[in-house]
Amino acid sequence: MIVPPAILRKYGEIEPYIRFVEERVESSVLDYCRRHGFAYAARVKTPDSLAEKLETGRYRSWSEIDDLFGCTIVVPTLLHEEAALEFLRSAFNEVETRSRRNSKKDPLLFRFDATRFIGTLRNLPDDANAVIQSQRFEVQIRSAFEHAWSVATHALAYKGNSVDWRVMRLASQLKAAVEQLDTLIIGFEQAAEVIATQDWPEVQSTKAVEVFFRELVEAGSIPSEIVPSNWPRFAENVFSLIRQSNGFRRDQMLDSTHSVLAAIREEILPIAPEMFPRSISLGQFVLGLLTRMGRIRGEIRRYTPLVTDELIAIFPATDSLTSVFDFEVTDE
């Protein structure tokens, strides 16, 4: 396309300052995203895109352009949005926040409406260039679903380079699905309550493992210091160990799991809390017990046990396990 020379001249003058803003904003926002496990995306507007934006007729002056540099924080759910805004307000000067909650929208329409933070740089030297001091930038906060919709539909909707009612309709339908997904995620636990529970031996047995060890922790039989950080994963790991070492039939799985847990209880209850080992994880402790009890020996089918010197010192029988995790880095 033809970009008016006036835009090219102005863009050429201001681009070095935009790049400076990009560097400063990105160093702060990207660090925040890395610390919290959020995705990040950024771009500097091109002259072509800028010309198209100005031709919309929505801008009266250059100073109103607020997204020559823009970036995106992709949060897991909309519940993380407020925390991201708090960070942005602490790191930059807030010019304006255009919240998705405050925008007026027809309930029958579905279009892009992510929250946008408009800001300027903070903590600049007193003699900093006036353009840098006043240059606005935009930070969008999108949910993971919303970001996927935006990236996918932008590529698809504009790929044909032609106005197409069907494409616009499909993009809106997908946005409606995104809003529904975000709503379900926010009310995930409440939504799960209305789903009818179905019996499935693996899930029932895994839940039995979780309940069993939680009760021992609450009773003080297992010290709080070694409580797993992720109960569902711990329960899955222990059940997998119990199942693979005993080869349960599905129709007997829950009863067999309870039987093994009862045997583990008999081993744990005599141990005084202060004597409970703190040098191994609770999962390793269960592995040690099952090995000492003779329920596990040699090579465990489809399971690589984590055997450490500390585990062997407490449960010598675990030294006989084979195909254990190898801590050495080897070339394959």
Full 3-state SS string of 4-70: CHHHHHHHHHHHHHHHHHHHHHHHHHHHHHHHHCCEEEEEECCHHHHHHHHCCCCCCCHHHCCCCEE
Beta strands (DSSP E) in the chain are: 39-44, 69-75, 93-98, 115-120, 137-143
**Distance in angstroms (rounded) separating the CA atoms of residues 115 and 140:** 6
Q: What are the sequence ranges of the domains in the chain?
A: 5-144, 201-320
Which comes out higher in pLDDT, residue 157 or 251? 251
Which residues, other chains included, contact 251 with Cβ-Cβ below 8 Å and sequence gap of 6+?
201
pLDDT at residue number 151:
85
pLDDT for 7: 92
Residue 109 has pLDDT above 80, yes or no: no
Q: Tokens for 176?
A: 């409606």
Cβ neighbours around 78 below 10 Å, total: 21
Per-residue pLDDT, averaged over 146-158, amounts to 79
Burial of 298 (0-12, 13-18, 19+ CB in 10 A): exposed
Of these ranges, 43-47, 152-156, 199-203, the one predicted with the greatest mean pLDDT is 43-47
Q: What is the mean pLDDT of residues 203-209?
A: 94
User: pTM of the full predicted structure?
Assistant: 0.75
CA dihedral 127, 132, 114, 190 (to 10 degrees): -30
Portion of the chain with pLDDT greater than 70, in percent: 92
Residue pair 288/236 in contact (Cβ under 8 Å)? The answer is no
Which of the pair, 104 or 243, is modelled with greater confidence?
Answer: 243
State how far the Cα of 116 lies from the Cα of 142, in Å rounded to an integer.
9
Name the CATH superfamily housing domain 5-144: Beta Polymerase, domain 2 (3.30.460.10)
Q: Which two tokens stand for residue 229?
A: 């950080």
Section 235-259 average pLDDT: 82
pLDDT at 323 over 70: yes
Between 167 and 17, whose confidence is greater?
Answer: 17
Is residue 176 very low, low, confident or very high in pLDDT (cuts 50, 70, 90)?
Answer: confident
105 has a pLDDT exceeding 70: no
pLDDT of residue 104: 67
User: What is the predicted pLDDT for the residue at 158?
Assistant: 59
Question: For residue 97, what pLDDT band results from cuts at 50, 70 and 90?
Answer: very high
Mean pLDDT of the chain: 88
pLDDT grade, residue 247 (50/70/90)?
low
What integer is the mean pLDDT of 186-205? Answer: 82
Q: How many CB atoms lie within 10 A of CB 104?
A: 4
